[in-house]
Amino acid sequence: MTTQTGSTVTRMQTTRAGGQMIADYWDNIFTARERGKHVVWYNGSALNPIFQAAGLEWCHGEAFSARLAAQHLEGPAQLAGAEYGYINELCSYSRTHLGCAVLSNGGGPAPGSETGVVDALDQQELASKLPKPDFFVNAYSGCSTGQQWDEMTYRVFGRSIPIFNVSIPFLWGNRPDSTYMAGQEWDEATDYVVGQLRELVTFIEAQTGRPFDWDALSESMSYIRRASELRLEGMALCERKPTPATYWDWVASIAHINFLPGDQALVDYFASVRDEIQARVDAGVPALENERYRLYFDGIMNWNKLGWLAKRFAEYDAAVIAGRYTHSSFWQEPQLIDPEDPLRGMAQHYLLCPINHSLKTLNYLTLRDCERFEIDGLVFHSTRTCRAFTNPQTMLASTAREHLGIPAMFFEGDVADASFYKDDILESRLVAMLESIDVRRAKAGV
């Protein structure tokens, strides 16, 4: 019988400190208006290097929803969204962000009104702190909801704020030559997105009244490329047994790679992450005291349950090592980035979003990472309001079982709505999966 030995996760110092960089970033956003900056709201792909080069302040909608959820402050925004009419089965990122839009635009419950959320009005103040945008840019890969969501934000603001959409074609794989990062479909999609990025730059120039600084874009992309290489070096160190860092550490660094400015500070951050992992390897310090199982995590993050999840898995000596959200996204193919001519590599990363592939490629990526990290089992976060991430999960589980003989477990949760959790189910399914790993090992005489 699988027992709890109560391993604890040794959290990385660097990622702990990295939290401050994110807090500073948001504080900076909140004061953008006072500093006379243009503010862009955007969703989906990491367009921030373009915004950085254009001298804008950028606010990623999903990231703000994630931050509110991680701090358990999502209630008032979701309440404002519900009052406006959004049904609770709708993507909770979008509901939260649209709720923020309602609040930023002066809507939402009036002071003194009964909201049912403890400290609602203080929290509401935070949700409404987002400065109103000067314009919107949407570049959502994979999920149709992403583009529709920003169109609704545009409408919440009374269609008075300009919006630009970059459409990222879904990599369906119509042709036999369509494989990961190859084939005619990939080339054509790349050209199409590059063309739209050029049009986006023209749009931004019109909004700001300034010529775009292409040198600044090259510079920031060279920092991002280096930061990404360092991040991948750190990830490679986790192939070791026991792993020196876990998936949860990589989750803690998502915001940095996803939307912090491309600059020396970003490179320094990922150099420290890599160095700390290397130091652990050198000193023989594992991430978990007693790693007995190595797991892969598939699904979008469940921001309001992160710490709880990390603890839960550790209690059973299960090291979650890699995942689709961390390892198949966020400038994960730095060799594609040519700082001298950055748009192509940027477009390609937008296409490589892990929800922008059909099953064929996702099977490839999942099997690749399971083999690489010697994974014993897969954990699927069946995300109630995010169909994009949930789409292929049962089929990925059968492919992994068929090709690698490894078991999987599913648990229901959500990106930003804690009400969709069923904690006891997670626990019982985890135990069942770990037991099946034990049985498999016993049979193999391991």
Which one of ligand SF4, another protein, none is in contact with 31 (Cβ closer than 5 to 8 A by kind)? Answer: none
Q: Footprint of ligand SF4 on this chain (CB under 6 A)?
A: 91, 93-94, 143, 145-146, 149, 300, 355, 386-389, 415
Measured CA angle at 292 (ends 304, 381), to 5 deg: 30
Question: Exposure string (b/e) for 214-227, b if CB count within 10 Å is 16 or more?
Answer: eebbbbbbbbbbbb
| Nearer to another protein among residue 161 and residue 265 (C-beta) | 161
Shortest spacing between CB 297 and another protein, in angstroms: 17
Binder of another protein out of 4, 174, 264, 428 (CB under 8 A): 174
| Nearer to another protein among residue 24 and residue 199 (C-beta) | 199
109 contacts 83 by C-beta, under 8 angstroms: yes
Q: Which two tokens stand for residue 54?
A: 């254009």
Binder of another protein out of 65, 123, 124, 196 (CB under 8 A): 196
φ and ψ of 293, to 5 deg: -135, 145
Whole-number Å distance between alpha carbons of 103 and 100: 5
290 binds another protein (CB under 8 A): no
26 binds another protein (CB under 8 A): no
Binder of another protein out of 388, 400, 409, 433 (CB under 8 A): 388
What distance, in Å, lies between the first and last C-alpha atoms of the chain?
16
330 binds another protein (CB under 8 A): no
Whole-number Å distance between alpha carbons of 216 and 67: 28
Which one of another protein, ligand SF4, none is in contact with 415 (Cβ closer than 5 to 8 A by kind)? Answer: ligand SF4
Question: Which residue, among 239, 244, 320, 242, has the nearest Cα to 275 in the 3D structure?
Answer: 244
Q: Which two tokens stand for residue 191?
A: 């050209």
137 binds another protein (CB under 8 A): no
Binder of another protein out of 4, 5, 28, 144 (CB under 8 A): 144
Question: Which residue, among 187, 172, 162, has the nearest Cα to 141 in the 3D structure?
Answer: 172
- Number of residues near another protein (by CB under 8 A): 47
322 contacts 164 by C-beta, under 8 angstroms: no
Shortest spacing between CB 345 and ligand SF4, in angstroms: 23
3-state secondary structure of 382: strand
392 binds another protein (CB under 8 A): yes
| Nearer to ligand SF4 among residue 66 and residue 318 (C-beta) | 66
Residue 205 burial (CB count, 10 A): 13
Beta bridge partners of 380: 298, 410
9 contacts 246 by C-beta, under 8 angstroms: yes
151 binds another protein (CB under 8 A): yes
Whole-number Å distance between alpha carbons of 99 and 96: 5
Shortest spacing between CB 103 and ligand SF4, in angstroms: 19
Considering only 114-122, 128-136, 164-172, 302-310, which stretch makes contact with another protein by CB under 8 A?
164-172
Query: Distances in Å between the alpha carbon of 180 and those of 163, 172, 342, 348, 358?
Result: 31, 11, 20, 11, 10
429: part of which helix (H) or strand (E)? Answer: helix 423-444
| Nearer to another protein among residue 174 and residue 264 (C-beta) | 174
Query: Distances in Å between the alpha carbon of 178 and those of 184, 364, 391?
Result: 7, 12, 20
Q: What x-and-dash track marks residues 55-84 binding another protein by CB under 8 A? A: -----------------------------x
422 binds another protein (CB under 8 A): no
Shortest spacing between CB 440 and another protein, in angstroms: 22
Shortest spacing between CB 436 and another protein, in angstroms: 18
Shortest spacing between CB 370 and another protein, in angstroms: 19
247 contacts 372 by C-beta, under 8 angstroms: no
| Nearer to another protein among residue 61 and residue 142 (C-beta) | 142
401 binds another protein (CB under 8 A): no
Shortest spacing between CB 143 and ligand SF4, in angstroms: 3
259 binds another protein (CB under 8 A): no
Return the amino acid letter for 420. Answer: F
Residues that bind another protein (CB under 8 A): 84-87, 89-91, 94, 142-145, 147-149, 151-152, 154-155, 159, 163-165, 167, 169-170, 172, 174, 188, 192, 195-196, 199, 355, 358-359, 382, 384-385, 387-388, 390-395
